[in-house]
Structure formats: C-alpha cells, structure tokens
Chain A
Amino acid sequence: MNPDSFENLRLELRRGCLVLAVLAALRREQYGYTLRKTLSKHGLEIDEGTLYPLLRRLETQGLLASEWREEDKRKKRFYLLSPEGADVLKQLLSEWKSIDSAINTILKEHDHGTH
C-alpha cells in the first residue's frame, strides 16, 4: 500500500479521536503546552499547529472556556471544559464506545467466519 495513503487514512482516523482526547483532558484546567504534554504522555502526539486552532474552534463552539492568567511570571491561556462541552463529551464517548463495540463485533464475526 502507498505509505501516503496510509498516512492520510491515519490522520483522518486521528482527527475525530483528537477532539475527544482534548475534551477529555480538559476536564482538568490546563494551558496549551501542558495539554500537549499530557496528550503526548498518554501516546497521543499532537503538534501545536493542530492543537491551538482546534482549541480555538472548540472554544468558538462553546465547548471550552478560556482565560488568560499569569503563572511562573508568564501570561498563559488556560482552558477548561464548559458545561456544554461536558454534555458533548458524554455523548461523544457514548458514540465512541458504540463504534468500538460495532467494530469489535465485525472483527469477531469475520474471525469466526475464517476459522
């Protein structure tokens, strides 16, 4: 398979998952850099060019709230999941689990069919 095709499919698959991961991680208040570190620590690398526009978009949609605050003598913008964002996260997690379950069922059916 063409490596570019795989990379495109991988990015497509990750795109939706990243939104879920960002919303989940922001149940605890964080600023951009620490959020990036948190996601990276859990195996989800995300570059700043993707993260900051995503944070802005989610904030515009009312799913995140943000405020500028000084910490360690430097002004930083802290993000936190809004109540509306919490509702959306709940729905998205339910959807995620249902997709996961459906894919597992399909894979199991296929395994039974081939053995």
Chain B
Amino acid sequence: MELIERYLQAVGFWLPNRQKDDIIAELSADIHAQVEEQETTLSRKMNQAEVEALLKKRGRPVLVANRFLPQESLIGPVLFPVYCFILKVVSLCYLVPWLLITIGLMIANPALPANQASPSWLTALATVSGHLWTAAFISFGTVTLIFAIMERVQARSNFLEEWSPSKLPPARNRNLIPRFSSSIEIAVNWVFLIWWAAYAHSSEILIGSSVRVSLHPQWSWFYWGYFILALCNATLAAANLLQPYWTATRATLRLLSDAVGAGLFCWLMKANILAGIFLPNVSPQRAMEVTQAINHWVAAVFPVGVIIAFVVAATDIYRIIRVKNA
C-alpha cells in the first residue's frame, strides 16, 4: 500500500494547507474502500500492478488536486473577448506596419545588411524576426498584464455591469458611404485638380523667383494620368454622394482608380523624374549631384510604395467581396 501513500502525498503537494489533511483523509478513505471491495471480489490481496492501475485510473495527482481548487483564470470570460480584440488590433495596427516598414527600410537602405552580399540576407532575416519577437512579446505581454489587472479590479467593483443599451454605438451598415466623406472627397479632388493644373502642367517648375526644377519629359504622362484620375475620383465621389452605398460596379471602379493611381506612383518613383535643379549660387555639378541623390532616394523607397499599393488594392478587393456577399 506504499503506492497509495505516495499517491496521496503527491496529491497533497498541490492542495492548500488548510484543506489538505481533510481532503487527503477523504481521498484515502475512498481509495481504501475501493481496494477492499476489489480484494473481496478477487478473494485475495491486490498486487502492486493492480493498485497501480487503480491509481492511474483516478488521474494524475496534480489534476486530481486541481479539481478541489477554486477555478481561477488570469482573464475571465467577461473580459476575454475584449482581450482577443485588443490583441488583434495590436497585431494589425502595430506589429504588421512595424514589420512592413522595417522590411521596406532594409531593402531601401544600402547600409543595412539586407543589401549586402549573401549570406547577409539570412542575417537580416534573423535580425528582423528577432526584433519582431521582442516587439510582439513586449506588446502582448503589456496588454495581458493590463487585462489581468482589469480582471482583478472588475471582480471587485463589477464596473462592467454598469452599462446602458442607449449608449451603444449606432447600428452600422458597412456598405453605406457617409455623405460627409463623399463631400470631403469631392472638395479635395477639385482643390487638387485646380492646384495641379495651375502649377504642375509644365515640366519646368519655378519655385520662387530663383529656383527652377526641370522634370523628365515623361512628366506629361504623370500629369495627365493624375489629372484624369482626380476627375474620375471626383465623379465617383459625386455618384457616391447621390447614392450613398457601395455597389459592385462602383467598388470595382474604385479598385481600378486606386490601381491606376498606385501604378503611376510606383512608376514615378522609378522614373528618375527629376531632370535637373537650378539653384542660385550652386555649381551645376553640385546641383546634378543633388538631383541624382533625390532620384536615388525616391527610387529606394519604391518597395514601400509597392507595399502600400498592395494594402490599398487588398482593401478595395475586400470591399468588392463584401458588397457581393451582402
């Protein structure tokens, strides 16, 4: 019967002191009653293997003890859905942008290991993932700690019980387009159009009286591209103002317009669009160096532009799917 004593001792280890003796005495009585009954049925003493099987069936000591303890949780069922929501927000609004910006900067910056010869890519990847884990650990850990504290405070004050249905946000139709945002969109596009037509129509731009910027001949493509795009966006916004809900057609048009805009923007970054800068008191050679440096840095940020374009396109595609499934 030494096995039974060992089992009871192992269960007792996990029990609080003030209840331990009582629970162990009752468990002991139960186990011994079961053993006696089986021995009566067998008409002999139980052997070691049979006692072991009996104890194993009762379960691991820590689990047996756990059933006697009050059920406790770090974050209870009331706060848990909010906790999960905040973790998703932290992931999407902090970790994902952080990762994208870090990757973009590593690709763009020649001083960083990502742009050096192999095997620096692996080193860079390891560095990024290391930083990501640290950022995730700190942000998730902080959120968990705050919610654990809220759980304790909530348990005492029941502040979550004090709520009113009339204070809930109004019911939301995700396919509805607020007229206010359509109005703003029309205004922004027309202001842009006027400014664009007034100042950007020529490939020679005069800034003040002495600084002249000369653009690549390709500039006319960008000028007319963005001009037409702004007109289309203003028209689409006007249609949205009259019929303030997304339809599959208008959602697809928005995708097309954003795709063209993003495509032009990415092309602009790679086009070495700045042909020359003419500054007073600056030698032509120095001005050329500045021009090349600006073109180089604009081109270097190209991956960030591509990432933003993909995010915008994904949002637009999601809107089309949502409208079609509505």
Contact = CB atoms under 8 A, between A and B. Distances in A.
13 contacts: A31-B29, A32-B30, A33-B29, A33-B30, A33-B34, A48-B58, A52-B26, A52-B67, A56-B23, A74-B32, A74-B33, A75-B25, A77-B26
A49 interface: yes
B63 to A, nearest CB: 7
Nearest to A31: B29
Contacts of B208: none
Given A33-B34, A48-B58, A49-B58, A75 B67 contact: no
A28 to B, nearest CB: 18
B29 A49 contact: no
* Interface of B: prevailing SS: helix
A3 interface: no
A53 interface: yes
B38 to A, nearest CB: 12
A13 to B, nearest CB: 20
Given A36-B30, A48-B30, A74-B33, 5 more contacts: A49-B63, A50-B67, A52-B23, A77-B26, A77-B29
A76 interface: yes
Contacts of A76: 29, 33
B27 interface: yes
Nearest to B69: A53
B32 A49 contact: no
Contacts of A49: 58-59, 63-64, 67
Task: Give 7 nearest A-B pairs by CB, closest first.
Answer: A33-B33, A53-B67, A49-B67, A76-B29, A53-B68, A33-B30, A77-B26
Nearest to A50: B67
A52 B27 contact: yes
A56 B19 CA distance: 11
Interface string B24-50: 011101101110000000000000000
Contacts of B68: 52-53, 56
A52 B30 contact: yes
Among B30, B59, B63, B68, the most chain A Cβ lie within 10 Å of the Cβ of: B30
Contacts of A74: 29, 32-33
